[in-house]
């Protein structure tokens, strides 16, 4: 018999139902910044329940890192900000009720660019700096009187002295467009109150963060909330923290009935996207290529609410210097509010943006120095035992191996016209906690843990690992959907941490007579100096690309894409291959065409026709990759590593043809414009 | 309206509105949940069904247009179909949300063109999107099924 995914019997959050449930829709702001003056629901049929700001006044503001968001907005801060909601016996009735809710607005000045929004005098989105949320794992540094909700810095050595020593200096500004996760299954949840207990079935990567945030919102103990994370039809960071769940729960509270909320496709672009960013990189080197100073300024556009933007900006910042020995490093990363839809976690988590900027700048520097880009990188590359600019010592370092393998894959030494290469150094959630309990049920073993399944294969990987450690057939391992009332606490299924962290907790559980295992990784950074431990475990990889550019249209065709990733010990071979292939393909979308386009704060391509994602036709004819394995080494998460180096490998390949593009995506019109100033 | 339609080999008389899609009808009336809406505009192929053997977007096919015709969803293939088996063997999925549509499109392609190259598969399947990016293994699965 075939896999449930092939027979049609696989079930997702979207399929979950409860008897007597109502179907919900959200009434959204039409303006990017406006005070809600009046909500009139008198035209809505009596069979519908309408949730207005009056109904949620007793609920607390929320936010995973900064509590700056209300369940319904009385001051809408982006087009699509939820202002009211309706629930009806059928989805069609709910849809028909939405335009019957009349809302009067008083428009306010808006700002749509992070650099502009960070300047003094820009319209402010949030007047007061709010407190940190439950999932904040570092101190927030809001800048009072500005839209900057978090500022992160690295101060290492003396960059001014470093640049004074440099024979060559490159300084450029890079812009990276926003992207939409476009997970194929929309956000979907069902909320139900049993007295004062809230039960919620939803597709989420973060069941415990969800529970804690909902406890804050409804003012009830976390133990009075049960979150069941159902399998997701893709997520890529989108199904994290509170998205639609608080509205569904507030509607269910008012209706005294279960409520299901499934987002229509177009509303995904109004719910969460990837941070657009502006990153300025300045690099200085001696004539022989030795790097002497690196200075990076990042502006991460987090949209109307912080969400996990402070964490994204911090990671964008601490990954910016990259896997190179640089004695003098300065990083300033800003997480900035704008009147765009919220931006949050997205595969690559901030590190894609700064990797694009740095790896492009390195090639420009190599050009200026007359050095081979691979040679320039190898001359400066970090080796085992080196100390990173955060002060932490790097172990099990394989960057040189990744770089050399990727260069060899595209026959770098036989001529580098049309070819490009890039490295990524990506952190993993630090600090964090993972725990698992193993239960015996007859001949079977049941894994109780909060690791969620979104297609990344975590259930399969951990089941295989459990079978190996217990010495039983994998068919005897059962892995029910995580239910916060039944599983021990785990930080989140994010940042490619689950196979690494949860497999170590699992090994502890197998050794423990009670079958319980818990693992923590400790660390964190001082936000003012960037000193400490950024990541207890670094993901390492390289990409190489071979491209052709159509001289007439500017269209870039990638004829060969290769990545080399350090995998350590591989737990689930097929899963490792699929995650690598998927990351590379998603990286191509980011490199070549994916862009959330706005006009006056309104997304103008909020459908899968105008917003294209890669198809079969976009996979390069030559598509290769290599996982560097090491017996007895740590397990290295592979969920994201092969994504961030792909765009700069492609950008550098295009630059090798004399076409310097500093903006992502490398869409034909951008490339064509760059060809006119060809060097 | 009463919709008379043969679905997965059985004749049905289903309650349907004239303005709704066959996607909504088969999900609601028959619980055929493998037919899934992603884009809602006929771009992604997640809602693919076979209408008299031809792949069509279930999200665009108005229910009355299926009256008197035959619909196949992946549930109707039984589970041991060579294409389903090939997808399982090649592990040609991650989240699996797009898989039923992929399998139905591949099934018709294999009936029409038993001798396939990699390029044929890519061209013919380009109307089905997989955001997880499992394309390489999907091509392998279709070629495996062709040679089965």
Same domain, yes or no, for A473 and A492? Answer: yes
**Bridge pairing between strands A102-107 and A291-303:** unpaired
Residue ending a domain, among A222, A244, A268, is A268
The confidence score (pLDDT) of residue A677 equals 81
DSSP state, A518? E
Q: Are residues A205 and A259 in the same domain?
A: yes
Domain identity same for A71 and A191: yes
What does the pLDDT look like over A562-577, one tens digit per residue?
Answer: 999 999 999 999 999 9
Confidence of residue A679 (pLDDT cuts 50, 70, 90): low
pLDDT of residue A136: 82
Cα-trace Rg, chain A:
25
Left if phi > 0, otherwise alpha if psi is -120 to 50, otherwise beta: which for A303? left
* Residue A127 lies inside a defined structural domain of this protein: no
Cβ distance B98 to A10 less than 8 Å, yes or no, reads no
**Residue A231's closest chain B neighbor by CA?**
B95
Tokens of A435: 């725990």
Residue B105 contacts residue B125 (beta carbons within 8 Å): yes
- The verdict on A284 and A208 lying in the same domain is no
Q: For residue A574, list chain B residues with Cβ-Cβ distance below 8 A.
A: 91
**Is the Cβ of A265 closer than 8 Å to some Cβ of chain B?**
yes
Mean pLDDT, chain A, rounded, equals: 97
Q: Is residue A422 part of a domain?
A: yes
CB atoms A582 and B134 under 8 Å:
yes
Mean pLDDT of A506-531: 97
Model pLDDT, residue A39: 97
Q: Which chain A positions have a beta carbon within 8 Å of B93's beta carbon?
A: 3, 5-6, 455
Q: Same domain for A242 and A373?
A: no
* DSSP H or E stretch at residue A266: helix A265-268
Q: Are residues A261 and A279 in the same domain?
A: no
* A452 contacts in chain B (CB < 8 Å): none
pLDDT, one tens digit per residue, over A39-66 is 999 999 999 999 999 999 999 999 999 9
Average pLDDT of chain B, as a whole number: 97
Residue A230 shares a structural domain with residue A297: no
Q: φ, ψ for residue B78 (rounded to 5)?
A: 95, -35
Mind listing the pLDDT tens digit for each residue in A186-219? 999 999 999 999 999 999 999 999 999 999 999 9
Reported as a single tens digit per residue, the pLDDT across A279-296 is 999 999 999 999 999 999
Domain check: are A508 and A648 in the same one?
no
Does the residue A248 lie in any domain? yes
**Quick one: A420 and A472 in the same domain?**
no
Predicted confidence band at A137 (pLDDT cuts at 50, 70, 90)? confident
> Which pLDDT band, with edges at 50, 70 and 90, does B148 fall under?
confident
φ, ψ at B2 (rounded to 5°): -95, 125
pLDDT band at A658 (very low <50, low <70, confident <90, very high): very high
Q: Which of A216, A251, A268 is the last residue of a domain?
A: A268
Helix (H) or strand (E) holding A7: helix A4-7
What confidence category does residue A132 fall into, taking pLDDT thresholds of 50, 70 and 90? Answer: low
Instruction: Say if the Cβ atoms of A1 and B73 lie within 8 Å.
Output: no
According to the model, what pLDDT value does residue A130 have?
59
Model confidence at A133, in pLDDT bands (50, 70, 90)? confident
Strands A277-285 and A273-274: what pairing? unpaired
Closest by CA to B25, choosing from B74, B56, B71, is B71
- The answer to whether residue A245 is domain-embedded is yes
pLDDT at position B114, please? 85
* Whole-angstrom distance, CA of residue A414 vs CA of residue A537: 35
Q: With beta carbons less than 8 A apart as the criterion, state whether A668 and A553 touch.
A: yes
Q: What is the rounded CA–CA span in Å between residue B65 and residue A206?
A: 43
As a whole number, mean pLDDT of residues A536-558 equals 97
Tens of pLDDT, residues B19-74: 999 999 999 999 999 999 999 999 999 999 999 999 999 999 999 999 999 999 99
pLDDT at position A384 over 90: yes
Under an 8 A CB cutoff, do A2 and B134 touch?
no
Q: Is residue A124 part of a domain?
A: no
Q: Is the dihedral of CA B80, A582, A425, A141 positive or negative?
A: negative
pLDDT tens digits along A586-611: 999 999 999 999 999 999 999 999 99
> What is the tally of structural domains in chain A?
3
Q: For A607, which of B39, B103, B123 is closest by C-beta distance? A: B39
What average pLDDT score do residues A351-362 get?
98
- Give the residue numbers spanning the domain of A343: 175-179+273-385+396-428+531-676
DSSP string, A551-603: TTT--EEEEEEEEEEEEES-S-HHHHHHHHHHHHHHHHHHHHT----EETTEE
Q: Do A517 and A642 reside in the same domain of the chain?
A: no
Q: Is residue A47 part of a domain?
A: yes
> What CATH number does residue A229 fall under?
3.30.365.10
- Mean pLDDT, rounded, for A529-552: 97
Q: What is the pLDDT of residues A320-331, one digit of tens each?
A: 999 999 999 999
Residue A113 located in a structural domain? no
CB contact under 8 A, A617 and B132: no
Mutate to test the interface with B, among A3, A6, A14, A188 (most CBs of B within 10 A): A6
pLDDT greater than 70 at residue A129:
no
Give me the domains of chain B, ranges plus CATH numbers: 2-76 (3.10.20.30), 77-147 (1.10.150.120)
Among candidate residues A221, A249, A268, the one where a domain is terminated: A268
One domain, residues A407 and A504: no
Residue A118 maps to a domain? no
Minimal CA separation from B67 to chain A, in Å: 22
Same domain, A563 and A464: no
For residue A516, pLDDT beyond 90: yes
Count of residues making up chain A: 679
């Amino acid at each position: 018999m075939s896999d449930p995914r092939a027979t049609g019997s696989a079930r997702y959050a979207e399929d979950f139902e409860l008897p007597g449930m109502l179907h919900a829709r959200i009434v959204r702001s039409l303006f990017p910044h406006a005070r809600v003056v009046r909500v009139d629901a008198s035209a809505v049929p009596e069979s519908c329940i309408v949730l207005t700001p009056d109904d949620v006044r007793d609920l607390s503001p929320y936010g995973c890192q900064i509590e700056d968001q209300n369940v319904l907005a009385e001051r809408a801060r982006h087009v699509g900000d939820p202002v009211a909601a309706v629930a009806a016996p059928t989805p069609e009735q709910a849809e028909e009720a939405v335009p019957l809710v009349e809302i009067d607005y008083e428009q306010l000045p808006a700002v749509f660019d992070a650099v502009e929004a960070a300047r003094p005098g820009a319209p402010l989105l949030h007047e007061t700096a709010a407190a940190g949320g439950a999932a904040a794992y570092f101190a927030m540094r809001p800048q009072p009187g500005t839209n900057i909700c978090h500022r992160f810095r690295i101060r290492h050595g003396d960059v001014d002295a470093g640049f004074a020593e440099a024979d060559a200096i490159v300084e450029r500004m890079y812009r990276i467009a926003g992207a939409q996760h476009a997970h194929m299954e929309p956000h979907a949840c069902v909320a139900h109150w049993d007295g004062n207990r809230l039960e919620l079935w939803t597709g989420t990567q973060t069941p415990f963060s969800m529970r804690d945030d909902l406890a804050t919102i409804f003012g009830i103990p976390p133990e009075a909330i049960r979150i069941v994370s159902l399998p997701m039809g893709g997520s890529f960071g989108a199904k994290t923290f509170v998205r639609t769940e608080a509205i569904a729960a507030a509607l269910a509270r008012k209706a005294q009935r279960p409520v299901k909320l499934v987002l229509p496709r177009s509303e995904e672009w109004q719910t969460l996207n990837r941070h657009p960013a502006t990153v300025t990189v300045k690099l200085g080197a001696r004539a022989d290529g030795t790097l002497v100073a690196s200075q990076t300024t990042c502006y991460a556009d987090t949209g109307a609410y912080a969400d996990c933007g402070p964490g994204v900006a911090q990671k964008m910042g601490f990954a910016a210097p990259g896997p190179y020995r640089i004695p003098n490093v300065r990083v300033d990363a800003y997480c900035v509010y704008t009147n765009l839809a919220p931006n949050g976690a997205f595969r690559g988590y901030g590190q894609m943006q700064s990797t694009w900027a740095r790896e492009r700048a390195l090639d420009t520097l190599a050009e200026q120095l007359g050095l081979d880009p691979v040679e320039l990188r190898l001359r400066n590359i970090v080796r085992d035992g080196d100390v990173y600019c955060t002060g932490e010592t790097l172990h099990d370092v394989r960057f040189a191996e990744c770089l050399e393998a990727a260069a060899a894959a595209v026959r770098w030494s036989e001529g580098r016209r049309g070819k490009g290469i890039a490295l990524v150094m990506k952190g993993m959630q630090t600090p964090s906690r993972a725990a698992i309990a193993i239960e015996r049920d007859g001949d079977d073993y049941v894994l109780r843990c909060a690791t969620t399944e979104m297609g990344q294969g975590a259930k399969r990987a951990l089941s295989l690992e459990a079978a190996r450690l217990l010495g039983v057939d994998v068919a005897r391992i059962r892995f029910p959907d995580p239910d916060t009332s039944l599983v021990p606490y785990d930080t989140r299924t994010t940042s490619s941490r689950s196979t690494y962290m949860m497999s170590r907790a699992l090994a502890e559980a197998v050794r423990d007579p009670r079958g319980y295992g818990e693992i923590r990784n400790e660390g964190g950074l001082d936000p003012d100096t960037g000193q400490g431990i950024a990541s207890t475990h670094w993901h390492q990889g390289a990409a190489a690309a071979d491209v052709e550019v159509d001289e007439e249209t500017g269209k870039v065709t990638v004829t060969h894409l290769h990545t080399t990733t350090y995998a350590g010990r591989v737990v689930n071979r097929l899963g490792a291959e699929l995650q690598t292939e998927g990351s590379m393909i998603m990286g191509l979308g980011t490199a070549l065409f994916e862009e959330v386009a706005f006009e006056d704060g309104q997304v103008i391509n909020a459908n899968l026709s105008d917003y294209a994602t890669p198809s079969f036709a976009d996979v390069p004819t030559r598509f290769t990759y290599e996982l560097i394995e090491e017996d007895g080494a740590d397990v290295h998460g592979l969920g994201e590593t092969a994504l961030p180096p792909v765009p700069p490998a492609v950008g550098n390949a295009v630059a090798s043809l004399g076409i310097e593009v500093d903006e992502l995506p490398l869409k034909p019109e951008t490339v064509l414009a760059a060809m006119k100033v060809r060097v | 309206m009463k919709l008379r339609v043969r679905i997965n080999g059985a004749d049905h008389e289903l309650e349907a509105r004239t303005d709704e899609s066959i996607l909504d009808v088969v999900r609601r009336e028959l619980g055929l949940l493998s037919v899934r809406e992603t884009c809602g505009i006929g771009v992604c192929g997640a809602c693919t069904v076979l209408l008299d053997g031809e792949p069509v977007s279930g999200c665009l096919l108005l229910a009355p247009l299926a009256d008197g015709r035959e619909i196949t969803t992946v549930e109707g293939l039984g589970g041991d179909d060579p294409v389903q088996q090939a997808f399982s063997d090649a592990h040609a999925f991650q989240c699996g949300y797009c898989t039923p549509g992929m399998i139905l499109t591949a099934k018709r392609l294999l009936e029409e063109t038993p001798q396939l190259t990699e390029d044929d598969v890519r061209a013919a399947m380009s109307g089905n999107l997989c955001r997880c990016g499992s394309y390489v293994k999907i091509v392998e699965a279709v070629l495996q099924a062709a040679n089965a």
